[in-house]
Structure 1
Amino acid sequence: MFVKRNADGLVVALSREASADCTEFVADESDEVKNFVQISDEKEAAVEDLAQSDLDMVRVVEDLVNLLIDSSVIRFTDLPSAAQQKLLNRRAMRDQMNPVDLLDNEDDFNF
């Protein structure tokens, strides 16, 4: 492996081939390479966890907006048109994924 080092001499990049940035050869089995790969894997896992958390938060924010609208704290039309369209699109996508039509449109129940 060819490595790039920072000003402190720590490995900050790896390459299988020599390049302008990665000029120093270090054995694949070296502790430096192993440590760099382990840290990179940990960072990648942290980034993936954060991305999943972002997706979860999107749903929380969407539910919060719907709650505020349902509670008449805000009106749907108070939102910018781009936000309205995004909320409508998400609602339509969710409805397509989870259709629950318990009553047929032709059913006529008198309660």
Structure 2
Amino acid sequence: MPFVQRDSAQRIVAVSQLPQDGLEPVAADDAELLEFLAALSDDASRISATDQDFVRVLEDVVELLVSRGVILFTDLPDSAQQKMLYRQRLRSVLPGSLDLLGDD
């Protein structure tokens, strides 16, 4: 059974699987709870939709900093180096090239 916290207008503002002070139990199929959870899911989907583009921008920024000598590629943690190299290999075999930063 989920437990919810409500604001002064009695709207759900938090959900927990565990009972805590200030939380009240609600049915798992409560319409207001389902609406609250759906709104959270929508927010998460919107941010996730930008992740792939943002990762590519960060890759381009790291490549720019390395090419200008601001940082050394070897300054990055080994795990970051491996991930960057792997993504570079994958991109090199893809038809066409993504260039999100352009030549600005």
Structure 1: which 5+ residue stretches go unaligned? 16-32, 101-111
Asked whether 1:76 is paired with 2:91, we answer no
Structural RMSD (CA): 2.4
In 1: Cα distance, 2:90 partner to 2:70 partner: 25
| Aligned-residue offset at 1:55 | 2.9
> 1:9 — aligned with what?
24
Q: Percent identity at matched positions?
A: 32
CA 1:99–1:36 in 2, change beyond 3 Å: closer, same or farther?
Answer: same
Question: Which amino acid in the other structure matches residue 9 of structure 1?
Answer: E
| Aligned-residue offset at 1:88 | 0.7
Output one character per residue of 1:1-30: Cα deviation in whole Å (capped at 9) or x when no partner. Answer: xx544445363x616xxxxxxxxxxxxxxx
In 2: Cα distance, 1:4 partner to 1:76 partner: 48
| Aligned-residue offset at 1:56 | 2.8
| Aligned-residue offset at 1:81 | 2.2
The 5 Å alignment of 1:1-111 reads: 4-6=2-4, 7-9=22-24, 11=26, 14=28, 33-98=30-95
Output one character per residue of 1:76-104: Cα deviation in whole Å (capped at 9) or x when no partner. Answer: 2222222211111001111122257xxxx
| Aligned-residue offset at 1:42 | 1.0
| Aligned-residue offset at 1:75 | 1.8
In 2: Cα distance, 1:58 partner to 1:45 partner: 21
TM-score (norm 2): 0.60
Equivalent position SS for 2:24:
coil
Q: Which has the larger radius of gyration?
A: 1
TM-score (norm 1): 0.57
Output one character per residue of 1:9-58: Cα deviation in whole Å (capped at 9) or x when no partner. Answer: 363x616xxxxxxxxxxxxxxxxx22222211111111112222333322
